[in-house]
Structure 1
Amino acid sequence: MKASHRKWRASLAACLLSIAIPAFALDTATITGSVLSPDCIAYRVRGICYWLLCTLTGCSVETSVKVAHYVPDAVVSSYSNTGENPWVEVRALSQPNASAEGGGDGTTNEEHENNLAKFKNADVIGHPGATLFSQFISQWGYSCAGAGTAFMPYLLSTLDTVAWRYNVPESLYPEALIPGRREIGTRAGLNLWGNVYPRGGFLHHVDDYKAAAVVAQRAGDIVTRRGQVHVYQPLLANGRDGYWPAGALMESDAATGKWQELTPTLKNTCAVFPHSESRVQSQRGDYAWALWRPYSCCERKGQIFLGSVDFN
């Protein structure tokens, strides 16, 4: 494919995605198309890998380019009404059950008060756009595999009742009790969105978008770690020679992951929480983001990996 054609296709995709489209229900086709985002991919050449290649005639040191980019590993939905994931094709995975029936915000029955109590369900499900993503990123060269499997449920809060609805045992963790620990934003910066711990569905907030984002961050925090006291599957890949997968997600740190809004508006850019971008409040309290995570890799050129050097 000619370079000019590739640039035209990338520009067209960016233009199409740059329009913020109101989305009352999110479908797989829309999610799949959202991977055409050069801003989220952030592809770059990171360094050089060295390999020892041995044949019958001797051994030599070979090199390959080390690349780095983000991969859309999962779709993280944060929504008020149990059983109503905004991603319509996967709603059947998280229907109400005997231990997880209700949802939504609290009420005080006092007209002069604002009840800040909110509850959000959260689902983390493998991103369905892997094939289109691979085709799109091939225009830049070698690419890295992500950890996610399409449509795989990594966390369904309806199955994580004790931890998600009762905050047991995380309500007693130091991160939940000590102000300033594991918070999204800062008080000094006047941009505090909320606390990561306890990693459940309840929080107090006046802004529904920010509340949903905090819950999405909590869900992402859980699935990108092993051995957490939740019902989930880790969204992690194992490192190997020439492959450096994403690790634990940390709030406000793009080097560990970033978010692309899918609904109520579809955006072609990625950001971390908190951010200053425009925010649309969902009428039904349902939101979804694609979680993009950073990977580095290089093509194998020999039997033994000797190491790599990163460019400054």
Structure 2
Amino acid sequence: MMKMILDLDTGVDDSLALAYAIANPDIEVLGVTGTYGNVTTEQGVRNSLDILHLLEKDSVPVFKGEDHAMDKVVFTRHEVSARIHGENGVGQVTLPPASAKPESTDAIDFIIASCKRWGKELTLVTTGPLTNLATALEKEPEIEHMIGKVIVMGGALTVCGNVSHFAEANISQDPCAARNVFETSMDITMVGLDVTQRSRLDKKATQSWRNLKTISGRLFADMADYYIENTLGTEETFIHDPSAVICAVHPEFFQAFPCFLTVETEGIDRGRVVVDSKKLRASDPTTKACIGVAADLVERELTTTLYGLFKGN
């Protein structure tokens, strides 16, 4: 069973990713680390606790992480994030409040301790800015050689960005952190807009969840429908964050291109993920960028797994 930490800025698609991880029998969720992006870190942590409570998984610990980028003193939320995820991050849906609180240990120390305990067994999936992981590496550099796999939802290598012509939202929030992470020797797979925009979640699927007449089915359908209506404005939307978790357990669904990745941190290219020109002649890159996907398999994996989860809740 894969031992996994989810590093989330818990908005709607992060909630879907968390639910998928909880439902997948091949994943043991060791904990959730909170970051900023779709919402503030504090709101994201609260959303994670409430989602876990809704799914009757209050025992999964949630840890508060960094609340702004490494080179900034405050976090500024993108307007598009508020529009797509709603002010509360979960599509303006009111979730049953969890009584659980965040752990007293912070996210950075939890990541470090987990790397030391589980080593190569540990998979870290990030769906927000990479500040928590970069900060953990800065505090304890040796974990670079301990951790198993890192799956990053973020970036755009062969397509345009979604917050600028070049930049994707997660990477753009903290390009310095992303650069520091990508330029390590860790086994990193980037699941970016190149593939997440090819897989779709539609209202037929969300209606099937609603038809279950369970609390979780109804609330997740409401969240997902809000997200659908405020992204493409059609009957479907992209599968961003869940794609990263699915990639962790089903890498065969994806076509990955081995390359040395880095991130531009200055000028109009700030936040742009590129192949590192200094390493074009270097061999054996540890980073990979997903550039192809069997979208039908990703879509089926997500919707059927969540249907089974919501059927029992």
Structure 2 length normalisation: TM-score?
0.27
Structure 1 length normalisation: TM-score?
0.27
Q: Structure with the greater relative contact order (CA < 8 A, sep ≥ 6): 1 or 2?
A: 1
Larger radius of gyration: 1
Higher strand share: 1
Higher helix share: 2
